[in-house]
């Protein structure tokens, strides 16, 4: 038995390491280092979401009350500062923008973001928020290198400023983006802000993650104790077997 344990551990590690091809299409995503374990970051992310995203995007599976509990906000803070739709505290976060208007303005209905991180991955969302650039050839004036011809005008431009694309010589392929007009945040501050936003969306994708981490350690410690006892009991009985 003992001979096999390292082999099992190794197999397990390899499996977890060799994750299936990228969570979403697209090479060279920036790493968000997303984590739901920093309450202050989640709170900042929530503020960003409600200030810049909630006008169009819903989190239809997330209730204000649940968010308040998990993020350490009071009912008053949530209802006064974040909830501008007049929804009740226990109701989910639903954007007040009528779908018909959205379709008229953007050509499509802005997607619900409840499960955006589960579907696309935190790194994808993070990279997406960092790769908008001015593009006069699109109807909305903005484009994105992560999601080509994104229908969304860049909502955070005041914070990041305006990026423009440097093309590869003689092509229409973007070589790199450069900041031509600074925003109200420095590039480092902006990256932190988008990280906060991604952290919040990661939380919104799976609020249970907070509970999982909390209980998981204790469950495993308990099981380790049980296994140890079972092992001694087995050893004791197997003294009979020669």
Partner 1 sequence: MSKFSAWIGERAPGLDATYRKHMTEYYAPKNFNLWYYFGSLALLVLINQIVTGIFLTMNYNPSAAGAFDSVQYIMRDVQWGWLIRYMHTTGASLFFVVVFLHMFRGLLYGSYQKPRELVWLLGMLIFLTLMAEAFMGYVLPWGNMSFWGAKVIVSLFGTVPVVGNDLVEWIMGDFLPADATLNRFFALHVVALPIVLLLLVVLHLAALHEVGSNNPDGVDVKHGPKGNRWSPTAPVDGIPFHPYYTLKDLVGVGVFLIVAAFIIFFAPTFGGWFLEHDNSIPANNLLTPAQIKPVWYFTAFYAIVRMVPSAFGTAFWGVLGMFGSIALLFALPWIDGGKVRSIRYRGTGYKVGLMVFVLSFFCLMALGMDLTDEYFPRIFGSGIDLTTWDNVFGRFWTLVYFGYFVFLWLYTHLGWEKTKPVPERVTMHD
Partner 2 sequence: MANEVVDHGRRRFLTATTAVVGGIGVVSAAVPFIKSWEPSARALAAGAPVTQSLKKIEPGQQIVVPWRSLPVFIVNRTPEQLAALPKQDDRLVDPKSDGTSSGQQPEYAQNETRSIKPQWLVMVGICTHLGCVPDYHGEMKPEPFDPNWAGGYYCPCHHSRYDIAGRVYKGVPAPKNMEIPKYHFIDDTTVQIGVGPKGEA
Positions in the binding site for partner 1 (CB under 8 A): 1-4, 12, 15-16, 18-25, 61-63, 66, 114-115, 118-121, 205-208, 211-213, 215-217, 219-220, 223-224, 226-227, 230-231, 233-234, 237-238, 240-241
Place of tokens 């010589």: 169
Q: Which of 132, 128, 127, 124 is nearest to 25 (CA)?
A: 124
Q: Which does 239 bind (CB under 5 to 8 A by kind): partner 1, partner 2, none?
A: partner 2
Place of tokens 């001979």: 3
* 233 part of the interface to partner 2, by CB under 8 A: yes
Enumerate residues 6+ apart whose C-beta is below 8 A from 210.
36, 70, 203
List the structure tokens of 53. 């995203």
Beta bridge partners of 162: 181
What's the closest the beta carbon of residue 62 comes to partner 2, in angstroms? 10
What's the closest the beta carbon of residue 64 comes to partner 2, in angstroms? 10
Contact 198, 122 (CB under 8 A): yes
Q: How far apart are CA 185 and CA 183, in angstroms?
A: 5
**Among 84, 167, 221, 225, which residue interacts with partner 2 (rule: CB under 8 A)?**
225
By beta-carbon proximity to partner 2, the closer residue of 98 and 226 is: 226
Beta bridge partners of 134: 142, 164
- DSSP three-state, residue 134: strand
What's the closest the beta carbon of residue 230 comes to partner 2, in angstroms? 6
Contact 203, 210 (CB under 8 A): yes
Q: Which does 188 bind (CB under 5 to 8 A by kind): partner 1, partner 2, none?
A: none
Q: Which does 207 bind (CB under 5 to 8 A by kind): partner 1, partner 2, none?
A: partner 1
* 224 part of the interface to partner 2, by CB under 8 A: no
How many beta carbons lie within 10 A of that of residue 123, not counting itself? 20
Q: Which of 118, 146, 119, 117 is nearest to 130 (CA)?
A: 146
* 236 part of the interface to partner 2, by CB under 8 A: yes
Q: Which does 65 bind (CB under 5 to 8 A by kind): partner 2, partner 1, none?
A: partner 2
Give the x-and-dash track for 5-44 against partner 2 (CB under 8 A). ----------------------------------------
Q: Where are the beta strands (DSSP E) in 150-221?
A: 161-167, 174-182
Contact 119, 132 (CB under 8 A): no
Number of residues located near partner 2, criterion CB under 8 A: 20
* 221 part of the interface to partner 2, by CB under 8 A: no
What's the closest the beta carbon of residue 139 comes to partner 1, in angstroms? 22
Q: Rule CB under 8 A: which residues touch partner 2? A: 63, 65-66, 88-91, 222-223, 225-226, 229-230, 232-233, 236-237, 239-240, 242
């Amino acid at each position: 038995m003992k001979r096999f344990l390292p082999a099992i551990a190794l197999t397990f590690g390899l499996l977890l390491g060799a994750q299936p091809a990228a969570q979403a299409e697209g090479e060279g995503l920036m790493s968000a280092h997303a984590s739901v374990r920093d309450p202050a970051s989640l709170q900042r992310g929530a503020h960003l979401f409600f200030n810049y995203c909630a006008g169009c995007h819903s989190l239809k599976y997330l209730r204000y009350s649940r968010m308040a509990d998990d993020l350490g906000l009071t009912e008053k803070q949530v209802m006064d500062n974040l909830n501008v739709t007049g929804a009740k505290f226990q109701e989910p976060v639903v954007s007040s923008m009528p779908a018909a208007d959205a379709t008229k303005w953007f050509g499509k209905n802005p997607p619900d973001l409840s499960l955006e991180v589960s579907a696309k991955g935190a790194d994808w969302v993070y990279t997406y928020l960092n790769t908008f650039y001015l593009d006069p050839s699109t109807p909305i004036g903005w484009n994105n290198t992560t999601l080509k011809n994104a229908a969304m005008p860049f909502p955070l431009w005041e914070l990041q400023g305006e990026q423009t694309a440097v093309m590869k010589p003689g092509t229409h392929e973007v070589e790199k983006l450069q900041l031509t007009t600074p925003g109200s945040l420095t590039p480092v501050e902006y990256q932190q802000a988008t990280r906060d936003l991604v952290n919040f969306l990661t939380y919104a994708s799976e609020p249970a993650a907070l509970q999982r981490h909390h209980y998981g350690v204790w469950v495993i410690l308990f099981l380790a104790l049980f296994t140890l006892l079972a092992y001694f009991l087995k050893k004791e009985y197997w003294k009979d077997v020669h």
